[in-house]
Chain A
Amino acid sequence: MYVAVKGGEKAIENAHAWLAEERRGSTDVTELSIAQIREQLSLAVNRVMAEGSLFDPDLAALAIKQARGDLIEAIFLVRAYRTTLPRFGYSNPVETGQMACDRRISATFKDAPGGQVLGSTFDYTHRLLDFKLAAEGEVPLAPESQPRSEPIPHIADFLQDEGIIQDEPTSDATPGDLTREPMEFPAGRPLRLQSLTRGDEGFVLGMAYSTQRGYARNHAFVGELRIGKVAVEMDIPELGFAIEIGEVELTECETVNQFKGSKTEPPQFTRGYGLVFGQSERKSIAMALVDRALRWGELGEENLGAPAQDEEFVLSHADNIQATGFLEHIKLPHYVDFQAELELVRKLRLETDGRTTPQEAAE
């Protein structure tokens, strides 16, 4: 009797049918709507948009529903969809200085123009399960106030005016696009930032954490963290000027780091930068720390051999779609290779100690 798995096609169809049923769960329970996911699981939606590299809350919500809440699977769905979208062009750089901030905090100055705006944050909640939510109670409306009419300046600009923070080199060069060109090393900062902003939140968090614990330590202050909407503008060649084509919510984090100076630079502060779609605080702070760690060469610092300083290591392993695909592919059949290994190990055993395996003895 030949027992090898046959009928793959039927098995796949049945598996998909079962998966669809499991996704739905008990039909005694009302089905989740895309709008419910978009509105009530918005931080999950934000993560899927950030790591899926596609700003579309409805599509991200759909992906989360289809993926049964598995966010990496949802990110994968969004990425695969993104492949099919035509590329019309590139927007102008967004002006985060013009951001309509819902939240803006600085850990370096007690107060600054624009103020400390806590916004909607988990930060000072006590992490006690709120059983009232299980009873589906209505939420009282939060008090409102008038938004500041003028733009909120970046904290780092104040340090820059004083000349005690490193100047960022300005350039009009078109940055590379890691979704259109194969990654090559050294990648340079624009590609590093692109890779980090779509990198796996857990991976980037772990890398950032390692720098805090002494693997290429560079103590970071959160100079500023701001969350809000910015306008996206695009130059239209036919018109000869830029028009606003929409707005996106972003989280921007700029860290201020100690720097004792190098052969060429006086002691000053340096920066790390994080910019992520949606309200994604943890990710943007982590991104800024890893960005700063990767800048050791540019700042003339020592390479301590720490993982977070290693551009090729960090960028090659930050993408969770690449990682999960390759990790999970070992579920696929490998019997041809395993057979080759079986033959080899049997042969090597025969040669090393002259013993025969039970299998060979039987024949």
Chain B
Amino acid sequence: MNEYNFAYLDEQTKRMIRRAILKALAVPGYQVPFASREMPMPYGWGTGGVQVSAATLTPEDTFKVIDQGADDTTNAVSIRKFFENTAGVATTEETTKATVIQTRHRIPEVKLTEDQILVYQVPIPEPLRFLEPRETETRKMHSLGEYGLMHVKLYEDISQHGAISTAYAYPVKVSGRYVMDPSPIPKFDNPKLEMDAIQLFGAGREQRIYALPPHTKVVSLDFEDYPFEATKADHPCDLCGAKDSYLDEVIMDDAGDRMFVCSDTDYCRTRRAQGHDGRLSKEDAV
């Protein structure tokens, strides 16, 4: 694909995206409109993240792509290949070696550093969207800091179900100002949103970019008597024994037996290489 510019997009388009990124970093949690382009993968499949990555990558970068925490899920493979072809950057599956990580639905388990950039793919950037479908209204609510509707929703959850019934894409308040959708990460990942790395969020179809600069205060919305809780399956990983990682539940046989494994494949592999094992790691050796 040599006929395409570095990282597919032309330089003017990348500049336009970089301006949006800089604005987003200057106003943490604010959704900056940008003129999203049609990419050669479908809207909803990471075009926002891909455009942000394309505008962020330099030839010296090492790029990692995860989907559901894993490097080998089909769409992660597809996006990694796209940048191998169009940017020729080095790629890696090791979280610690990557300088730019594009992710869908997860934050890596390993603590990221200030030398890294985490790029999120975002389907619906507007945290208020399912409370108010109109963009004209939600933009007004953000500009006035009018988030009562969201608190009412959380309160209604508690009164109906006894708990806040949002398990992923759990809303957060950024620097005490904007309520932000952290993308559909499980709420287990929410505490990690305060980190050393730059976090960029790209929503291609909805034409929005937003960001969290390093060390930004990010608070998951809750009530004093119903505090936010980062939950995960109450098991250790069956392959590496980790008790602190987010787990996927896998159905193993027709009888419905389950196993629990780290969703972050690099984290799990690294731990196993270090000699950790879990309930089923012997069987997995075959």
* Residue on A nearest B281 in the bound complex, by CB: A2
Whether B72 sits at the interface, judged by CB under 8 Å, is yes
Whether B232 sits at the interface, judged by CB under 8 Å, is yes
Whether B233 sits at the interface, judged by CB under 8 Å, is yes
> CB-defined interface of B94-108 with A at 8 Å, one 1/0 digit per residue?
000000000011100
Indicate if the CB atoms of A182 and B68 lie closer than 8 Å. no
Knowing A321-B38, A325-B44, A347-B163, the reply to whether A12 touches B250 (Cβ < 8 A) is no
Indicate if the CB atoms of A341 and B205 lie closer than 8 Å. no
- Least distance between B48 CB and chain A CB atoms (Å): 11
Q: What's the dominant secondary structure at chain A's contact region? A: helix
Whether A179 sits at the interface, judged by CB under 8 Å, is yes
- Least distance between B12 CB and chain A CB atoms (Å): 8
* Residue on B nearest A344 in the bound complex, by CB: B167
Knowing A7-B72, A84-B8, A343-B231, the reply to whether A322 touches B78 (Cβ < 8 A) is no
- Least distance between B231 CB and chain A CB atoms (Å): 6
Indicate if the CB atoms of A321 and B250 lie closer than 8 Å. no
B-binding segment of A150-158, A253-261, A297-305, A330-338: A330-338
- Contact partner of A8 (CB less than 8 A), chosen from B43, B77, B208, is B77
How far is it, in angstroms, between the C-alpha of A158 and the C-alpha of B276 when the chains are bound? 85
We find that the number of chain B residues with CB closer than 8 angstroms to chain A is 71
> CB-defined interface of B241-280 with A at 8 Å, one 1/0 digit per residue?
0000011111110001011010100000000000000001
Whether A329 sits at the interface, judged by CB under 8 Å, is yes
Indicate if the CB atoms of B186 and A324 lie closer than 8 Å. no
- Least distance between A181 CB and chain B CB atoms (Å): 5
Whether B179 sits at the interface, judged by CB under 8 Å, is no
Knowing A1-B283, A333-B68, A340-B167, the reply to whether A326 touches B123 (Cβ < 8 A) is yes
Whether B184 sits at the interface, judged by CB under 8 Å, is yes
Whether B113 sits at the interface, judged by CB under 8 Å, is no
Knowing A12-B74, A337-B168, A343-B233, the reply to whether A83 touches B259 (Cβ < 8 A) is no
Indicate if the CB atoms of A325 and B45 lie closer than 8 Å. yes
Taking CB atoms and an 8 Å cut-off, the chain B residues in 43-73 that contact chain A are 43-45, 47, 67-69, 72-73
Whether B34 sits at the interface, judged by CB under 8 Å, is yes
- By a CB distance below 8 angstroms, the chain B residues around A83 are 9, 37-40
How far is it, in angstroms, between the C-alpha of A343 and the C-alpha of B186 when the chains are bound? 11
Q: How large is the interface on A (under 10, 10 to 19, 20 to 34, 35 or more residues)?
A: 35 or more
How far is it, in angstroms, between the C-alpha of A337 and the C-alpha of B81 when the chains are bound? 25
- Least distance between A319 CB and chain B CB atoms (Å): 9
Knowing A3-B252, A339-B233, A341-B168, the reply to whether A333 touches B67 (Cβ < 8 A) is yes
How far is it, in angstroms, between the C-alpha of A343 and the C-alpha of B134 when the chains are bound? 31
Indicate if the CB atoms of A340 and B162 lie closer than 8 Å. no
A contacts, CB < 8 Å to B: 1-9, 11-12, 76, 79-80, 82-84, 86, 179-186, 312, 316, 321-322, 324-329, 332-337, 339-344, 347-348, 351-352, 359
B contacts, CB < 8 Å to A: 4-5, 8-10, 33-40, 42-45, 47, 67-69, 72-78, 81, 104-106, 123, 134-136, 161-163, 165, 167-169, 184-188, 205, 207-208, 231-233, 239, 246-252, 256, 258-259, 261, 263, 280, 283-284, 286
